[in-house]
Amino acid sequence: MLMDLSSEIYHSLLPVFITVTLGLPAAALGAVDGVAEATANFAKLASGRLSDRTGRRKPLVAAGYGLAALSKPLFPMAGSLVAVLGARFADRIGKGIRGAPRDAIIADETPPEIRGRAFGLRQALDTVGALLAPLAAIGLMLLFADDIRAVFWVAVIPAALSFLLVLIALKEPEQRLAASSQKMVAAFRDLDRNMRRLIAVGFLFALARFSEGFLILKGVEAGLSQTYAPLTLVLFNLVFLAFAYPAGALSDRVAPRTLLMAGLAVLIAGDLVLAGVPGLAGLALGVALWGAHMALSQGVMARMIADAAPPQLRATGFGAFYFVTGIATLLASLAAGLIWDRDGSAAAFVAGAAVAAVTLVMLTLLPDRKAVA
């Protein structure tokens, strides 16, 4: 929650910082967000594999939170796209290092019958930070008279607190069986057919949903000032938070695939609203639907990975999943930025809806819960 509070302050202001302060096009935002998220997910493959091979989780989790905290002062000092990309790169590398071992800890320590609730709770706490962040960003922008760099300096504080909390409070779980000593690139070969199929669907999921930074740009296009543009993320995360835990808990009782299909249908509706309904009303409805989609997919997908991966390859499974979805995130954000600059925002959201529709069809190929549990 603390790290999300810090990171999302930067994330909520970066679209304006890049396009207004630095005067760059939307494609630059797509490149920064796409490369950053892809980098994080590439790192998750390596850290997940290493965590399973050594049987240790905490050192990697602590290293990831520590690197992310150290990267935060680079943002207010950035004066060019390259500098912003470097800061975002370091921040996301930290996220990547901690991601798979952290999710593996949750799966290791949670009984299967309540695993959906556990991941729903984790997602809800992430979203609390993400919800508070844009509100904090707006308040700090008003306090510092729209000085984005000053706001960036304040956001260093919760990141540092997050790292200290990991060092003090997190305990190393019971050592697990180490996976085979094969090289990292063999990770995919160690996973069974059901897991690979789930990873393929995850790729399409990520390809259908580009960076939330474009929601902020849509807010500016709809008439919000640069100070109040982060309100789009407030609404997004408020809906996300409201449904994240209930969706995770529901996945313990019904087939998770059903929730994922509902989430895709909601995403398609959100994209079409953002593409075709003008003004703040269309913005609010579309952003709310995006938040509902995230609640119906993120924690649910994480519990499906936990169910499908064998215990000795659990962090590897998360890492492989995040690696593949990182590639998709990069492609989606780059494409969205290029389409946005060339054909406008409506075309970008229509393209996202089309990919989501293809993913919905592909999801029918997944086995039901009993086959992956």
Whole-number pLDDT of residue 371: 37
Domain ranges across the chain: 2-170+187-372
Rounded Cα–Cα distance for residues 289 and 307 (Å) = 27
Average pLDDT on 148-165 reads: 90
Whole-model pTM above 0.85?
no
Q: Check residue 184 and give its pLDDT.
A: 45
> 49 with 187: CB under 8 angstroms?
yes
Which tokens in the block code for residue 68?
């992310």
Helix (H), strand (E) at residue 329: helix 314-343
Cβ-contact 109, 78 below 8 angstroms: no
User: Whole-angstrom Cα distance, residue 352 to residue 185?
Assistant: 31
Stronger pLDDT, 299 or 328, i.e. the higher one: 328
CA distances from 170 to 19, 58, 102, 192, 342 (A): 39, 7, 10, 31, 48
pLDDT of residue 178: 42
Model pLDDT for residues 225-271, shown as the tens digit of each residue: 877 888 898 899 889 888 877 887 787 788 878 888 999 999 999 99
- Say whether pLDDT at 320 is over 90: no
User: Cα 115 to chain center, whole Å?
Assistant: 20
Which of 117-131, 142-156, 182-196, 336-350 tops mean pLDDT? Answer: 336-350
Residue 37 to residue 41: CA distance in whole angstroms: 6
Instruction: For the chain, list the strands marked E by DSSP.
Output: none
Q: Quick one: pLDDT at residue 181?
A: 38
The reported pLDDT for the residue numbered 172 is 73
Q: pLDDT tens for residues 47-75?
A: 877 777 777 888 888 888 888 889 888 88
Query: With bands split at pLDDT 50, 70 and 90, how would you rate the model's confidence at 185?
Result: very low
pLDDT (mean) for 144-172: 87
Instruction: State the average pLDDT for the chain.
Output: 81
Average pLDDT score over residue span 189-213 = 80
User: What is the predicted pLDDT for the residue at 197?
Assistant: 80
Q: Is the pLDDT of residue 275 over 70?
A: yes
pLDDT for res 180: 38
pLDDT above 70 as % of the chain: 91
Give dist(CA 223, CA 84) in Å, integer: 26
pLDDT at 273 over 90: yes
Q: Which residues contact 130 (CB under 8 A, 6 or more apart)?
A: 4, 5, 8, 233, 237, 240
Q: What is the pLDDT of residue 265?
A: 95
Rounded (10°) angle between helices 2-16 and 26-54: 160
SS3 sequence of 219-266: HHHHCCCCCCCCHHHHHHHHHHHHHHHHHHHHCCCCCHHHHHHHHHHH
Sign of the dihedral defined by the CA atoms of residues 315, 93, 182, 192, in that order: positive
Q: Which of 143-147, 207-211, 362-366 has the lowest mean pLDDT?
A: 362-366
CATH code for residues 2-170+187-372: 1.20.1250.20
pLDDT of residue 262: 92
Using CA atoms, how far apart are residues 100 and 95, in angstroms rounded to an integer?
9
How far apart, in whole angstroms, are the C-alpha atoms of residue 230 and residue 14?
10
* 95 burial via Cβ count (<10 Å: 0-12, 13-18, 19+): buried
Q: Residue 336: which of 317, 325, 351, 315 has the closest Cα?
A: 351
